[in-house]
Structure 1
Amino acid sequence: MNLNLSLILVFLAMIAAVASPSPDRGSITDGLTMIHDIQGDGLSSPLEGKEVLIEATVTGIFQGSDRLEGFFVQEEDCDIDDNILTSEGLFIYDPGRLGEKEGISIGDTVLARGDIEEYHGLTQMRLKEIKKSDRGGKESALTAHELILPLAQDSVRLCPEMERYEGMLLMLPQDLVITDIGNLSRYGELSLSPHSRLPIPTNVAQPGAPAAGIQELNRRSIIILDDGSGRRYPESYPFPKTVRCGDTIRGITGIMSYSYGNYKIEPLNISEIIISNPRPENPEPVGGRLRIASLNLENYFNGDGLGGGFPAARGARSKSEFQMQRAKILQAIADMKVDVIGLIEIENDGYGNSSAISDLNDGLNALDDGAGMQNYEFIDPGLPKLGGDLISVGFIYNRTKIRPTGRAATTPKGASLSGNRQPLAQTFEEISSQERFTLVVIHLKSKKPTREGARAEGDNADRGDGQGYWNADRTEAANELIRWLSSDPTGSHDPDYLILGDMNSYRNEDPIKAFRNAGYVDLIASRHPAESYSYVYEGQWGELDHLLASPSLAEQVTGATIWHINADEPPERGYSGIWSSPDKYRCSDHDPLIAGISLGNSSL
C-alpha cells in the first residue's frame, strides 16, 4: 500500500486509545485555540484570516509536492467539545516542510502556529512554526471515529454532508464497493458505496418521489477514496490500477479531507482489496441457434477512410487512436460470436468503400481466428446517409447464417424527435429454418440539456422526476416507432420483431414504458434484477441499452445477457487513454447486449 510500516504501527496504537505519558504543557499553552473553535459548526472557519496556536496530535503525514504538502492533526479525546457539529481535526499546510525538519511523526503531540484559511472549501492552517509538545507527564489518547454509510438522514439534515468530520481520523468498518472509477487515472480517486454499486434511481424505482428517494439515499451512501496526493495522473496509487467497478475494499482507515466540492478519505491503511468483479473473458451463455447483439461504438469515425482525416468530427483524434479503437471493437465483436449486431454511434458517412461501416466490416472479415470471421456483410439501405446527424445506426450480419429479405426501411418521423438519428429496420431469414424476424436498431435523444443548438424547454426540460432532459421527445419517438412498426415497414408479414439499441432511457422511464405498454418484452429486465446495468453515469448504474421483443419473438428467445467488458473499466483503458491496450476491454463506454434465439420454437 506504499505505507511506512512503522507509521502504521504507531497509528494503530493511537486508534486503540493506548495512553502515552507526556510532560506538562507549560506556559506556552496560555494562548491555545482549540481545533473545534477553528472549525466551527458551519462550512467555513469563523477564524479565517487569523493567526492561531494549537496543540494537537499528528494523525497523518502527506508531506511533499507529490502528495498534499502537509499533515493532519486532531485534538485528543480529553480536549474535544460536546458539539457534534464541530470537527476536531485540521489540515496543516506545510509547503516548507517545517514538520519534516522538526522530525514529527504520526502520534506526536505538536504545538503549531499559523494562519487559518479556506482552500477550495477545506479549512487549513498555513504553518509558520511547529515544535513537539511537552505535556508534563499527562496522559492522552485519541480515538478514530467510526464512519458508517449511508449517513443517517438526521445527521445530514443537522450538518451538510460530512463537514463535521473534516480533518478527522476515521475508520470505515464496512466492506465498500467501487461505484465509480472515472477519476482513477487522473486524480487517483475511487468512489465507494456500501453493499453494492449505486443504482440510477429510475432503473430501480418509478420516476418522481420514489426515484427522488433513491437519489437522496445515494447521496448519503457515497464517499471518495483518494490517493493522498494532489497530483494529476499520479505515478503510484494505494490500490492497484487493475481494480474495476464492483470490486470490494475492506478495512479503510484514513482522514477526511475536502477539495473541489467533494469530501474524500485520504488513506492511511487499507486492509484488503477483493477482486469481486473479475473481467469476464466471454459472455454468459444465451443458447439459441442465432445470437443477436447491440453495441454502442462510442463514436466510430474512420477519418477520410483512406488513413487520414484525423482528428475526425468525433471519436479518434489521430490515426493511432483510431487503430486502437478499431482493434478493441473488432476483438469484442469477434468474441461475442454473434450472427447479427446492431451498431450505434457509427459515423454517418454513407455505405461506400471508405465509409465507417464498410471499414468495420472489412476488419471483421480480415480477422484470422478460425471462427469464420470472413463471412460478414453490412446492410446498405440504399441512401446516401441515414438521417442528418453525425452518427447513425447500422447492421453487420453473418451471411452464412442469415440473409436479408427485402430492403431495409427507415423513417424520418420520429427522427426529428431523436436528434435526426433515424431508426433502421431489416427483416432477416435464418438460412437453416427459413424462419423470418425483423430487427430494428435505434438511438434516442440523449439527456443533455442542449443539443445541436436546441435547448430543452417546456415538456423537454428536466422536470425533477429523474428522467432528465428531452424525455418528452424520447417518449414521442418511441410511440412514433411503435406506430411505424405496426405498418410492417419492411413488408415481412411476420410478427417477430426485436428492437435494440441505446435508448437513453432507464428501465422505469416513459419511453421504455411506451414499448412495454405496446406489448414489447424487455428481455434483460425479464431475466435480470433491477440492479443490472449497461452504463455508468457519475457513479450510478443502470440499463441505458435495451432489447425489446414482440410477444411472438419473446417466446423464441432462449436467453439474454449484458457482457460487462466496458462500463466497469476505467476510461483510461479506452482507445484514447494512457492505459489503453488492443484488447476488447473498454472498447466503448456502453456494455454490449446479447440475446439467443431459436426461431420457430415457441415452446421454450
Structure 2
Amino acid sequence: MHPRSTAPGRRRASVRAGAALAALALGASLVPSLVLAPAARAEVVVPGDVVIQEVYGGGGNSGAAYQSDFVELANSGAEPVSLDGWTLQYASASGTFNNSVTLRGEIPAGGTFLIQLASGNGNGEVLPAADATGGINASGTSGVFALSDSEGRLACTGTTCASDPAVVDLVGYGAAATFSGEAPAPRTSNATSAARVAATGENSTDFVVGAPTPQPSGAEAPTDPTDPTDPTDRVPVPATIAEIQGEGAQSPLVDRTVITEGVVTAVYAEGGLDGYILQTGGTGGARDLSTQTASDAVFVYSPDTVADVAIGDSVQVTGTVSEYYGSTQVSVRAGGLAPLAEALPAVEPVTLDAFPTEEAQRESLEHMLYLPGEGDFTVTDVYSTHRYGEVGLAIGDEPLVQAGDIMAPGQEATAYFAAQADKLVLLDDGRTTDFSRNADQPMSWLTTQEPVRVGAAATFTEPVVVAYSHEAWRLNPTQPWEDSATDGVTFEDTRQDAPVDVGGDLKVSTFNVLNYFTTLGEDTPGCTPYTDRAGEGTTVRGGCELRGAWGEDDLQRQQDKIVAAISGTGADVVGLTEIENSARLGETPDEATATLVDALNAHDGAGTWAYVPTADAYAAQGTDGGGDVITNAIIYKPAAVTAQGGAQILVGDEAFDNAREPIGQVFVPVTDGPGRSGKTGEGEPFLFVINHFKSKGSADAEDAGLEPDPVQGNARTSRLQQAEALREWTEERTAELGVEDVLLGGDFNAYTQEEPLQLFAEDGYVDLGAVHDPEGWSYSYGGMTGSLDHVLANESAADRVTGATDWSINAPESVLTQYGRYNTNVTDLYEAGPFGSSDHNPLVVGLDAGATSPSSSAPGKPAPGQAPYGPGGRFGKGGPHAAHG
C-alpha cells in the first residue's frame, strides 16, 4: 500500500525558504532528545537563492483547490534575481522533460514568483494574478519540475538530473523517479500542494503536503510564524500519540508534520504494509472505554525505516499525519527515525469485557495492542480468506445468523439484518497480498493441519493490533502471518467424522452434489474452464450449458468426496440436488445419477444403492426431461426400502419455469415383522419429494414493483408460488396414491422463518431440522449462517420422526476444500473424505419404519409458524449482514 491522505488539506501560510529554515530549527529545539544521524545522501541540487517553493498539479480537477496548476518560486537572497532566459520544465513521474515555460522578469529579494500553468475543468478558486503563464498540464499526484537557467530542453532523467549544471532546482513528488536526494517529496492530491519548509536539497524532507497557498511577487509577504504549535504552519511540532489520534474518526493534525515517540508493538517489514505500530509507553491493560476516548497507538508508514525497528524498541519519529482508508498514520521518511536513549515503560495489551460495537469506542482502540479473552470471537466467514487472508469473526460465542432463519420478514427482521455489520470484525494477516494473483505464496490462516471453519471459536494466545482499513475493523497479528504454529490464534476443531445419531429404523437425507456432471467440459465444444495455478482446467466456467467438472481427474476428485459423504450419512434414502440433467444434454436419461450410484456401490458393496428412474415419468407427461441443465434425483438402499410405483414429477406448472421440478417417490420400509399396514416385512409407506426452488441470487419479473427485501433477497415471489404449487400437487398425489405420510426435502432457498416455509407450517408441516437440531444450519453466505435446506414432515410423518441433524461437513469449510479449487494455491486444501464435498450441509432424518412415536419437543429456533425469537432471544447475539443464499 502507498499512503495517501483522504482528508482535505488544512490552510497554512506560505513560508519563504530562509524563514522556513529558521522555523524548522525552532521546532527542533523544543525536542532535545531528537538526534538524527546524517544519512548517506544521493546527488542533490544545492539550494541557492532561487528555489522552487511550491508545486500544485490538481488545478480544475474534481475537489481541486484552484482552477489552474501552478509553481511558485522564491528568492531568499538579499538582491532581486532576473529570470530572463530561464525555463520551468516538467516531466511525468516516469518520463522525460517534454514541456516547459520560458520565464521573463525578476523575483524581488525575499519575494515570490507565481507561474500559472494549465487549467482543468473549472473546479476550485481562481489563482491570484500570476507573474508568468504556461501550458504545462501537471499531474495532481506525481511528477517532476525542474528550474533551469537555460532555455534548452533538459535531457537528464533519474538521479543524474540533480548533478546537471543547467538545473537550478529540482522537485520530484509522489511516485516520481526523478528527484533531488534520497526520495521524492510526498504525494499530492487535487486539494493539496507540496510546499518547501527547508532547503537542504532532500526533496523527501524539504517538502510537506498541505492546502495550496499561491503567492505572486506583488503579494504582501507573510509573517514568519513564531508559534510552532499553530495548526496552519508546516513546522514539525511535538505531539503525543493520543494528540495525533484525537477523539474523532480523523486526526486533528492531518497534513501536519509531527514529532512523537513510543514503543514499537508490531512490525510489518514485508507483506506490503511497510510500517510499524507505535504505542505510548506504559499504556494498555484493562481499559475503560467510557473515559479513555483517544487511542494511544498509531501506525507509522515508513518503507525507509521499517527494517530498522523491532518489537519492543523505544523510538522517536518525525513525519506527516494523514488518514489512509480511514486509518490514522504518520508517514516517516529516511532520517525521520531515532532510537531513544532510555527505554519507555513497557506496553500491556488492552483487555476488555467484550469488543465494542460502537464506532467511537473502536476508534479509541485504533492500532492498540489487544488480547481477546476466551469466547470473545467466533469464526463467521471464511469465504474470501483464501484470497485476502481475512477471517470474519463474530463478537461472542456464536457466528452471525441470517435474520430470516430466526424471525419472520418485516421491519423487525430488516432492522436486525442492518444491525449485524456492527458485530463483525476481520482477523487479518498483516499483509496486503491478493493470493489469487500470488498463488505460489502460501495462503494465510488456511491449512490442513488446523482447518478454519465457520462456527469455530477463535482463541488468542498472543495479542493482536486493532486496525481499520477498507471500511472494516480488523485484528492484525503483530507480524505478517507465517504459519499456523506461530500465528497466536487457535481455532476450535469442529469437524464431525459422522453425523449425530438420529435413531429410527431408517434414515432419509438431503444432499446437494455441487453440480455433479458426468458430461465433461473438456469434451464439449464451446466450454471454457476455470484453471488452477498451473493453467489446467478444473471446472466449467462458461461458453456452454455445462456446470461441473472439466476433466476426468476433476470428476474423480468430486465423485470421491460425494461418495464418502453420502455413504457417511448412513442414510437409506437420499434426495439429490444440483445433479446433471443428462436428458437435457442429449445424453442417456439419468446417466449422471446412474454413474454416481455405480460409484457408491463400488464403495459400499454391489447392490447397496439404486436410483429412481425418471424417463418414463417424464415421457408420460409429454416431455423428455426437466427444464434445467441441473435436476433433482433420488437414490436409495433396496435392502432398507422398496420403491412403490414410479417417480412422481411435477411437470407443466409455470411456477417452476425458473426452477427445478420436484421429483417424488413412494417408499415402503423393509421390516422384520408386520408394519402398521399389517403386511409382514413392510412398514408404513411414505412419499419423499426432493425440491430445489429458485435461488435468491437473481431478480425475476415476479418481483417487479415490490420493495427490495434484504432479508428474503431476490425472487421471493417465485419461491412462494413454487411452495404453493408444491403443496397443492402433494395433496393431489397423496390422495391419488393413497399415502398418508409425506416428507418434503431439499434446497428451498428460503430460510426457516421466510414465507415459503411459513406456508407449509400453516398446513401443519414441521421443519424437522428446526425442531430436532435447533443449533444446526445448512448454508453460509455473506458471513451469516442459516438453513436453506429442509426436510418438512406433515403431521402423520412427523409422528414417525426420531431425530434430525445437520451434518456440518460443507457449509463451514473454505471453498478451497472443494474439488474445483484444487491446486488454486501452493497450499492444497483438498483432502480425501467428506469435508468440502459441497457447499450445503446434508440434513439427516431418523424415521420409524411404521410404529407411531411421539415427535420431539426440543426447544430451539422456531419452526415455521411458531413464535419467532426477537433480537433479545436465543439467537440475539448473531444475525445477518447480507441477504442472498
Give me the TM-score of the superposition, normalised by structure 1. Answer: 0.83
Deviation for aligned residue 1:27: 6.2
Residues 67-466 of structure 1 mapped to structure 2, 5 A cutoff: 68-76=273-281, 86-96=294-304, 98-100=305-307, 102=308, 104-129=309-334, 130-134=336-340, 140=345, 142-149=347-354, 151=356, 155-156=358-359, 159=360, 162-175=362-375, 176-193=377-394, 194-212=396-414, 214-215=416-417, 218-233=420-435, 234-235=441-442, 237=444, 241-251=450-460, 252-268=462-478, 273=490, 275-277=492-494, 279-304=495-520, 311=529, 312=540, 313-350=546-583, 352=588, 355-365=591-601, 367-370=602-605, 374-382=608-616, 383=618, 386-412=625-651, 416=655, 419-431=658-670, 432-433=681-682, 435-450=684-699, 456-459=703-706, 461-464=707-710, 466=711
Q: What is the CA deviation profile of residues 26-79 of structure 1, one whole-angstrom value per residue up to 9, with x for unaligned ones?
A: 164972244344444554455555544332321111211x36322111234689
For the residues of structure 2 that align with 1:457 and 1:41, how far apart are their CA atoms?
46
CA distance, structure 2, for counterparts of residue 418 and residue 51 of structure 1: 65
Instruction: Answer yes or no: is the 8 Å Cα contact 2:275–2:303 preserved in 1.
Output: yes
In structure 2, stretches of 5+ residues that fail to align are 1-29, 36-235, 436-440, 479-485, 530-539, 541-545, 671-680, 824-828, 855-885
Match of 2:808 in 1: 564
Q: Deviations over 1:171-221 (max 9, x none)?
A: 212422222222333333322231222222222233334434544563333
CA contact (8 A) 1:375 1:399 kept: yes
Q: Single out whichever of 115-124 and 498-507 deviates more from structure 2.
A: 115-124
* Matching residue of 2:76: none
Alignment CA distance shift 1:423-1:573 (3 Å): same
Give the corresponding residue for 2:747: 502
Number of the residue aligned with 1:18: none
Q: What residue identity is the alignment partner of 2:751? A: Y
Please say if residues 366 and 468 of structure 2, whose CA atoms lie closer than 8 Å, have aligned partners that are also in contact.
yes
Deviation at 1:226? Answer: 1.8
Residues 45 and 512 from structure 1, CA distance in 2 versus in 1: closer, same or farther, beyond 3 angstroms? same
Q: Contact 1:418–1:473 at 8 Å: present in 2 too?
A: no
**Whole-Å Cα distance in 1 between the matches of residues 445 and 805 of structure 2?**
34
- 1:344-379 residue CA offsets vs partner (Å, 9 max, x unmatched): 1112232726832232222223x2444x55432233
Give the Cα–Cα distance (whole angstroms) in 2 for the partners of residues 236 and 368 of structure 1.
33
Structure 1 position 125, deviation (Å): 3.1
Q: Match of 1:26?
A: 32
Match for residue 54 of structure 1 among 256, 260, 265: 260
Seen in structure 2, the aligned counterparts of structure 1 residues 354 and 379 have a Cα distance that, compared at 3 Å, is: closer
1:471 is the counterpart of 2:716 = yes
1:293 maps to amino acid: S
Structure of higher CA gyration radius: 2
1:433 Cα offset (Å): 0.4
TM-score normalised by structure 2 residue count: 0.58
Q: Report % sequence identity.
A: 30
SS in 2 for 1:423: strand
Contact 2:509 2:574 (C-alpha < 8 Å) held by counterparts? yes
Counterpart Cα distance in 2 of 1:272 and 1:122: 24
Q: Residue 231 of structure 1 aligns to which amino acid in structure 2? A: T
CA deviation after TM superposition for structure 1 residue 394, in Å: 1.2
Number of aligned pairs?
563
**Conserved 8 A contact 2:683-2:849:** no
Partners of 2:647 and 2:471 in 1: CA distance: 50
Superposed displacement of residue 597, structure 1 = 1.6
RMSD: 3.3
Distance 1:246 1:142 in 2: 32
State the structure with bigger RCO (CA 8 A, min sep 6), 1 or 2. Answer: 1
CA contact under 8 A between 1:361 and 1:376: conserved in structure 2? Answer: yes
The 8 Å contact of residues 406 and 490 in structure 1, kept in 2 or not, is answered as: no
Distance (Å, rounded) in 2 between the aligned partners of 1:414 and 1:174: 53
Give the direction of change, closer, same or farther, for the CA distance of 1:50–1:283 in structure 2 (3 Å limit). same
**Segment of structure 1 superposing worse, 512-521 or 139-148:** 139-148
Equivalent-residue separation in structure 2 for 1:118 and 1:319 (angstroms): 52
CA distance in 1, matches of 2:767, 2:660: 22
Task: Note the C-alpha offset of 1:516.
Answer: 0.8
Residue type at the aligned position of 1:257:
A
Between 1:249-258 and 1:268-277, the stretch displaced more is: 268-277
Rounded Cα–Cα distance in structure 1 between residues aligned with 2:798 and 2:595: 33
* 1:87–1:165 contact (8 Å) kept in structure 2: yes
For 1:7, the equivalent position in structure 2 comes to none
Which residue identity does 1:223 align to in structure 2?
V
Looking at structure 2, the residues matched to 238 and 404 of structure 1 have their Cα atoms a distance apart, in angstroms, of 47
| Offset, 1:168 | 1.9
Structure 1: 5+ residue stretches without partners: 1-23
TM-superposition CA deviations, 1:305-337 (whole Å, max 9, x none): 996676443233444322211111011112223
Bigger mean CA deviation after superposition, 230-239 or 176-185 = 230-239
Do the aligned partners of 1:305 and 1:359 also contact (CA within 8 Å) in 2?
no
Q: Classify 1:467/1:82 alpha carbon distance in 2 versus 1 (closer, same or farther; 3 Å).
A: closer
- The CA deviation string for residues 480-512 of structure 1, in whole angstroms up to 9 with x for no partner, is 211111112683111111100011111111111
